[in-house]
Structure 1
Amino acid sequence: MNPSAVTAARSPSRLAHIALRTNRIDELIGWYCNVLGAHVAHASDKVAFLTYDDEHHRIALIGLQNYPAKDETTRVGHYHTAFAYDSLADLLGNFVRLRELGIVPYRSINHGPTVSFYYADPEGNEIELQVDSFPDAAAANAWMQSEAFRRNPIGIEFDPDRMLQQLREGVPEVELMRRPDSVQ
């Protein structure tokens, strides 16, 4: 056996799932099913496994004990989990559907490589719902070398209702997803 083959890094083939501890399992089941269009693959009073595609589960909710609540302190560690949509129309359609359910993003931002909505679940776990702004990873990576990204790697907040109105008026998705400070 080649020794370098043993030590060579091998990337995973995909991100399989996220797991969250919770004291409010039923509430989180409902929230994630609503937000992601997921369904319950298995649930008991202590654990639940949710999926929205052909994977057996994408989200595991674990309620094995009474966990201490999160505090409001910003800490190092996991910040959010992002879920991608295929088009801006899909992302904005989901934004409208969620708003009708009383679920609204706390932040809407055009990062450049993505257009994103940020939501917090009932226990304060944060998720990002996004759409890629570029046709492929090479184009996104090239844009991330731009002066606009160097000056502002976080992005520019936007009004989702205005973007939705513009999409309904026929403004092309590619134009709506272009970050305003990008060179035309």
Structure 2
Amino acid sequence: MSIFDQTKEKKVLSPQTFAHVVLRTNDIKPLRDFYVSFLGGRIAHENEFAAFITYDQEHHRIALLEVPNTKPRANTSCGLEHIAYSFSTLTDLLLAYRQRRSIGIEPFWCVNHGPTTSIYYKDPDGNAIETQVDNFATAEEADVFMKSKYFEENAIGVDFDPEEMIRRIEQGEKEDDLKKRTVKLKHVDGNTEHESWVGLTGLKPNRGDGQVQKPRTP
């Protein structure tokens, strides 16, 4: 039997990796310059209507196409919500944040989702970009958390201040501790009810109220 006759499997063969994203635009040059700067990347190839950008061993990670009469992005339309890029450490995530700030690229949302600590940006066309670091050492641990009642109660996360995070790292706090999201639990001591923060997998909310967040849009 040929390997190509194996069509009765319940599960389709998964890809080896996610290769690239292609965005269309009505003004390619600002978008090209943004992504080269944002990703610390380089142009693999470009012409008057297309640009192929990479930042690693892949021939391109993002491609841009200038298409005439393309309309501006509408937040109310269906389609792609955001692109996400991962860093290996919290320090790297925050260093890239600082480097982007130095060239005028500011985030619009900084949030600890639980599975990840994430910083969101938008490109010149309004497309959202997430930069993140995993909060768990393994995918299995993240999977357990995502099936927990804590994630069910707040699957969006809690906001954090990246400058405060940098200050705490510089003072010697461990990354694993900074990535621990906390939840407010009620407990009774005698006849008195108290509220306390219990570390799980994210940060103590900088707002101090622990309220469930709604996703932010560019």
Same fold (TM over 0.5): yes
2:72 paired with 1:69: yes
Residue pair 2:114, 2:151 contacting (<8 A) in 1 also: yes
Q: Counterparts of 2:59 and 2:147 in 1: how far apart (Å)?
A: 38
Match of 1:105 among 107, 117, 121: 107
Q: Counterparts of 1:74 and 1:108 in 2: how far apart (Å)?
A: 22
Greater strand fraction, Structure 1 or Structure 2: 2
Q: Counterparts of 2:150 and 2:7 in 1: how far apart (Å)?
A: 41
Helix, strand or coil at the partner of 1:148: helix
Match of 1:59 among 54, 59, 62: 62
Map of 2:138 onto structure 1: 136
Match of 1:155 among 142, 154, 157: 157
Map of 1:5 onto structure 2: 6
Map of 2:49 onto structure 1: 46
Residue pair 2:180, 2:199 contacting (<8 A) in 1 also: no
Greater helix fraction, Structure 1 or Structure 2: 1
What is the total number of aligned residue pairs between the two structures?
A: 183
- Where structure 1 has 5 or more consecutive residues not aligned to the other structure, the ranges are none
Residue-by-residue CA offset, 1:81-123 (whole Å, 9 max, x unaligned): 1000010000000000001111111000000110001110000
Q: Counterparts of 1:129 and 1:183 in 2: how far apart (Å)?
A: 23
Post-superposition offset of 1:144: 1.1
- 1:10-49 equivalent positions in 2, closer than 5 A: 10-49=13-52
Q: Counterparts of 1:128 and 1:89 in 2: how far apart (Å)?
A: 16
Post-superposition offset of 1:33: 1.0
- 4+ residue runs of structure 1 moved beyond 6 angstroms? none
Post-superposition offset of 1:147: 2.1
Post-superposition offset of 1:4: 7.2
Residue-by-residue CA offset, 1:115-161 (whole Å, 9 max, x unaligned): 00111000001110000011110111111122211110111111111
Map of 2:94 onto structure 1: 92
Residue pair 1:47, 1:64 contacting (<8 A) in 2 also: no
Residue pair 1:31, 1:121 contacting (<8 A) in 2 also: yes
| C-alpha RMSD of the superposition | 1.6
Residue type of the alignment partner of 1:24: D
| TM superposition score normalised by structure 1 | 0.94
| TM superposition score normalised by structure 2 | 0.80
- Where structure 2 has 5 or more consecutive residues not aligned to the other structure, the ranges are 184-197, 201-218
Rg larger in 1 or in 2? 2
Helix, strand or coil at the partner of 2:69: coil
Q: Counterparts of 2:64 and 2:175 in 1: how far apart (Å)?
A: 35
Q: Counterparts of 1:77 and 1:58 in 2: how far apart (Å)?
A: 19
CA gap of 1:75–1:66, structure 2 versus 1, over 3 A, is: closer
Q: Counterparts of 1:32 and 1:17 in 2: how far apart (Å)?
A: 13
